[in-house]
């Protein structure tokens, strides 16, 4: 059974860099052909797709976040990473990693495997 687990700091100060890790295990989603993504949900708001990385390392980002976001992966470790710099209070959200399973790559509904999410608060 597919499992995804996010980890990272719960509290980050404004202007600092956020680093999150997602470990993927179980089933075929750990194999080479799946693209992995980061999606977030601010309090009281909808899901926001942040970006995705293919097995070969190709990345695609939300235009609104592209300048501050970097997604990478280590296929040997079945691990995905998110780095986001110049954090702002409005970046406070629950951050999810998810596996792309078909459809439009920038829509959360195209991702059928999700982690439980990790809460990140940006505050001084």
The pLDDT tens digits of the residues spanning 62-102 come to: 999 999 999 999 988 989 999 999 999 999 999 999 999 88
Interval 97-116: pLDDT, tens: 999 988 999 999 999 899 99
Residue 32's pLDDT band (boundaries 50, 70, 90)?
Answer: low
Look at residue 30 in the predicted model and tell me its pLDDT: 61
Largest CA distance in the chain: 41
Own/partner pairs for 111-114, CB < 8 Å, 24+ apart?
111/37, 111/39, 113/2, 113/4, 113/29, 114/4, 114/39
In this prediction, residue 2 carries a pLDDT of 79
């Amino acid at each position: 059974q597919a499992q995804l687990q996010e980890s990272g700091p719960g509290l980050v100060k404004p202007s600092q860099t956020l680093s999150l890790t997602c470990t993927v295990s179980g089933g075929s989603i750990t194999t080479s052909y799946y693209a992995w993504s980061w999606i977030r949900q601010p309090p009281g708001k909808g899901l926001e797709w942040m970006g995705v990385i293919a097995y070969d390392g190709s990345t695609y980002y939300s235009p609104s976040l592209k300048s501050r976001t970097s997604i990478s992966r280590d296929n040997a470790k079945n691990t995905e990473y998110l780095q986001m710099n110049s954090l702002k209070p409005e970046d406070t959200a629950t951050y999810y990693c998810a596996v792309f399973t078909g459809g439009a790559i920038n829509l959360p509904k195209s991702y059928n495997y999700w982690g439980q999410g990790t809460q990140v608060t940006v505050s001084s």
